[in-house]
Structure 1
Amino acid sequence: MKKMYLNCITIILYIVIALVITPASAFANEGDQKAEGSGFSYKVIYPENQHNKVGYFDLRMNPGQKQTAVIQLSNSSDKEVIIDIGLNSTKTNSNGVLENGPSSLEKDASLKYDFADIVKGKESVVVPPKQTIDYNIEITMPDSSFDGVISGGIYMIERNQESEKQDGMIKNKYAYLIGMLLTETDTEIKPDLTLNKVYADLKNYRNSIIIDFSNTKPAYLDDMTVDVQIMGEKSDEVLYDTKQTKMRMAPNSKIKFPVSMNGDKMEPGNYRAHILVTAKTGEKWEWEQKFTITNEEADKFNQEDVSLLQENRINWQLILMIIFIVLILIIIIYLIVRTLNKKKEKKRIKNKKKTNKIKKK
């Protein structure tokens, strides 16, 4: 009997283990992806005032100067190509990477001469089949002289490209980006950073503290390191910290540098941030900034934080699996008990018959 019970328990355990730990299989089609490129090509026509031999426009200008820069656009296909073109000032994203293409990044208040106001061109052009055309960029410099650099980019993308799946692979859209620097003098301008504010927000739908600071000078800041610690207002215990190296800042641009809360629930209260920014050339900026997270902010961001939502979300699949396993166990136990009771009853009846026979004798 004991052996039978052990065998039954072993069978039940095997069933439970098989149901709980067997993973769902996932399949994906993978293959080599060949970049076919865009339907057009370009060539930068360097003017006489090209300052340095580089792969982009680096133009030495004069106050009030007007000039036309040219990019040749070629279409080698049998169909006409429509090219959409954007002229954008250089900005700095939250990772410390320079953005010359289209973006929703804010302009900094220190930006006196915006590239997009100085450099103009058509928003789209048509290149006929098997032909090359000139795309003219009209530059009008401010009347006042300035030191430093005006920085931007020319973004070009073929219209009606489709990002679609082909044979299980994604066919990407392709674009070209050509930088443009405008200077008037060789006067060296050093970057200078100013802290704007520290506040709570979401970054990639996760609770974060944002360090908002600006480079207020018309000069690049290269090889920048940002080191931040977040503490309570009256405590030296570091709650959250982050350090990032090899960053850059564009001239007269701002950065919203995020400090992740590592999936923690945002708690309202008073805090302070210690911020250290250094550059390889020796520049150093250090700030201590108090900030407050309100009850409304904490509630709002906690409700939108995807990591918290995943933790709080009811896993109905797991619950159904557990219910299914429990039902199977109940059925198995019921069948075992029923079988044992039947055997007991048969044995009892058999023993009773034997007893009655003995009594008759």
Structure 2
Amino acid sequence: MKKYLTVLLTLMASILLAFTVNQKTTLAATTTGGVNYSISPELPDNQAAKNIGYYDLKLTPGQKETIKFKINNTDGKNHTYKVSINRAATDINGVIDYNDHGVQPDSDLQYDIEKLVTYPKEVAVAPKSSKEVSIDLTAPKGDITGELLGGIFVQENNQINNDEKLPKGVTLRNQYNYVLGLQIQTNTNPVKPDVKLVKAFETDNNGQISVDAKLDNDVPTLEKQVSVDAKVTPRNGSKVLLKSYKEKMPMAPNSYFDYPTNVNSVTGPSKNKRLKPGKYTMYVDVKANNGQNHWNLKRNFTVTNKEIAKINHKNPNRSMDLWIILGVILALLIAAGFVIKRYRKNRK
């Protein structure tokens, strides 16, 4: 009898432990290694704005210009560096981002800064020395209304050494890069701001489920001091299911901005929250340029069973775990009672 009870109790403990382990959040530490290189701009004489650390060029249509910067290798070894000119984008946090090449622009982009430049894609720099890098730029033959905004992205190759032993508890390895801003104009004529709501959709990002409003700044000008007040309701209903507000954000010229309204939290009591399949409406109130421009936008969207299944596959819904545990415990207790009853009956 004692043997049976021991087996049952061990099984119960194993099941409870399995559920506990599955619900733990994996924490990752990062390395804090130093950076052994830097970059420095050599600003040209025709720089429009002085005393700044990036390129602000006023050009004439068709003008050719060469801009230069230095990569400074402070290490005792030879290194190579990746160089790219990237068009400005707006990331999910409402921050201007220059890190990715070939990001999808909005459909009204007339001139792509990435296609107006030629430059070396890789540069080698000897130990304890600097190397000058030249970028040849040709302004469009047509007049640029507004500005073209991009960044000169520089990153050391082979920063990560997978053979290097990490300190105990460290699971991530950092990579570092530098970006020099690059803005091109041919005139300073004002551009009328315009922001559109292209679509609304449910998505997930590293465990954070959200309904994103794909906003489109479809003119070649940087929208400043942008605030977004978003809410989600059932379609043809007034009850607010989700809401979000954020302010003091920029939007890059001719770029999309996926503004998130969170459905769940990564941890805590609402981490397993989900939208039910159905039809919804997202309302977005956008203000820009210190409130001088204002848009009230609206877009219907649908959440399907297929979309929810895809999200749940990446981020399992653990809300039923407690009931499963209680059910298993109840089943084990019933089994234990049956074993005890049978044992007593056989002893008589």
Same topology, TM > 0.5: yes
Alignment partner for residue 289 of structure 1, among 285, 288, 298?
Answer: 298
Query: Any idea what the Cα deviations from partners look like across 1:53-92, whole Å, max 9, x if unmatched?
Result: 2111112211111011111122233322111111100011
Counterpart secondary structure, 1:238: coil
Aligned to 1:311: 318
Structure 2: runs of 5 or more not aligned: 1-8, 265-272
CA distance in 2, matches of 1:275, 1:316: 38
Instruction: Measure the CA separation in 2 of the matches of 1:88 and 1:32.
Output: 27
Question: Bigger shift: 109-118 or 304-313?
Answer: 304-313
Question: Which residue identity lines up with residue 245 of structure 1 in the other structure?
Answer: E
Q: Which of 104, 117, 120 does residue 122 from structure 1 map onto?
A: 120
- Cα distance, 1:107–1:309 mapped onto 2, change above 3 Å: same
Aligned residue runs from structure 1 range 1-361, under 5 A: 34-37=32-35, 39-52=36-49, 53-102=51-100, 105-162=103-160, 164=162, 166-168=166-168, 169=170, 170-196=172-198, 198-204=199-205, 207-262=209-264, 263-269=273-279, 271-279=280-288, 281-293=290-302, 298-306=304-312, 309-311=316-318, 318=325, 322=329, 326=333
Distance change >3 Å, CA 131–CA 243, structure 1 → 2:
same
Letter in 2 for 1:215: N
Question: Are the aligned partners of 1:222 and 1:248 in contact in 2 as well (CA < 8 Å)?
Answer: yes
Residues 316 and 238 of structure 1: is their aligned pair in 2 closer, same or farther, counting only changes over 3 Å? closer
1:281 partner letter: N
Cα 1:103/1:328, change in 2 over 3 Å:
farther
Q: Distance in 1 between matches of 2:37 and 2:65?
A: 25
- Following the alignment from structure 1 to structure 2, what is the Cα–Cα distance between the partners of residues 230 and 214? 19
Cα shift at 1:199: 3.3
Once the 2 structures are TM-superposed, how far is the Cα of residue 146 of structure 1 from its aligned partner? 2.1
Q: Give the Å deviation of 1:275.
A: 1.6
Q: Does the CA contact (< 8 Å) of 1:228 and 1:276 recur in 2?
A: yes
Counterpart of 1:185, as a letter, is: N
Partner amino acid, structure 1, of 2:204? K
User: Which one is further off, 64-73 or 28-37?
Assistant: 28-37
Contact map agreement 2:282 2:298 (CA 8 A) in 1: yes
Letter in 1 for 2:241: L
Q: Deviations over 1:102-150 (max 9, x none)?
A: 1674211121111101122111111122332211111100112223211
Q: Which has the higher helix share?
A: 1
Amino acid at match of 1:49: N
Tell me by how many angstroms 1:290 deviates. 4.6
Q: CA–CA distance in 2 between the matches of 1:181 and 1:109?
A: 20
Post-superposition CA distance 1:278-328 (Å, at most 9, x none): 1252234333535242xxx51121112248723277689958984897499
Deviations 1:234-260 (A, max 9, x none): 222222222222221011112122333
Q: Is the CA contact (8 Å cut-off) linking 2:197 and 2:299 kept in structure 1?
A: no
One-letter amino acid of the counterpart of residue 301, structure 1: E
Extract unaligned runs of 5+ from structure 1.
1-14, 346-361
1:204-235 Cα distance to aligned partner (Å, 9 max, x none): 16654332221122211122111112222322
TM-score, normalization: structure 1? 0.74
